[in-house]
Chain A
Amino acid sequence: KAGVTQTPRYLIKTRGQQVTLSCSPISGHRSVSWYQQTPGQGLQFLFEYFSETQRNKGNFPGRFSGRQFSNSRSEMNVSTLELGDSALYLCASSSSDRNTEAFFGQGTRLTVV
């Protein structure tokens, strides 16, 4: 069974640009969550999707958005990039609507210069 796939693995963007990250969950998993990991703040929750609906959002500015498609694949978008957005962005999928036993993808390392 394939794991969670995130693309791209690495990105370098310039301040002010926007970026789209993609996540394909484990087959059959309908819940997808996104997290940001930085050395200073650790792992912080961005948002969670289940059956194409955003059910919860973390404490991030509106520049961070996401969506989920009917095949459970998810994308997150960050507009007007800032230097502080440099981080490892992680996607996690779980099979139930209770977000238990979440499995992470390899992450996308975003560097904003």
Chain B
Amino acid sequence: QKEVEQNSGPLSVPEGAIASLNCTYSDRGSQSFFWYRQYSGKSPELIMFIYSNGDKEDGRFTAQLNKASQYVSLLIRDSQPSDSATYLCAVYRPGRRALTFGSGTRLQVQP
């Protein structure tokens, strides 16, 4: 079992719809959770982070964390074609001092 699992996609949504990206992790000691966006040929860009159970909203993005279920999600409202990218979920466990990444979900927003 991979430490961080994501559906590789592609996840295809129409412009203006809500895109829902999911991530599960296996290490219950994980403390911090991150979503990165990576365009083809570019480096990952941090778009959201969440440390506590519940929802965290930032503009069109909402991160959701459920530690009991070991589940993190990212919602993108009013999806735009410019949101088309690979979204990487990453978790951090103290003591390891490293981010563990999922393999990423490719999102395609259709105009």
Interface of A with B (CB < 8 Å)? 33, 35, 42-45, 48, 50, 55-56, 58, 88, 90, 92, 98-107
Contacts and interface: CB of A to CB of B under 8 A. Distances in A.
B44 A99 contact: no
Given A98-B94, A99-B98, A106 B42 contact: yes
Given A99-B92, A100-B92, A45 B98 contact: yes
A103 B32 CA distance: 15
A95 to B, nearest CB: 13
Contact of B43 (A45, A55, A105): A105
A42 B99 CA distance: 12
B104 A42 contact: yes
B22 interface: no
Interface residues of B, number: 22
A37 to B, nearest CB: 8
Interface of B: 32, 34, 36, 42-46, 49, 88, 90, 92, 94, 96-104
Given A42-B103, A42-B104, A43-B88, A104 B44 contact: yes
A4 to B, nearest CB: 9
Contacts, number: 57
Contact of A106 (B43, B96, B103): B43
A100 B32 CA distance: 7
Contacts of A45: 98-100
Contacts of B101: 35, 42-44
A100 B102 CA distance: 17
A33 B44 contact: no
Nearest to B100: A45
Contacts of B97: 33, 48, 50, 55-56, 98-99
A33 B99 contact: yes
Contacts of B100: 45
B43 A99 contact: no
B71 to A, nearest CB: 20
B43 A90 contact: yes
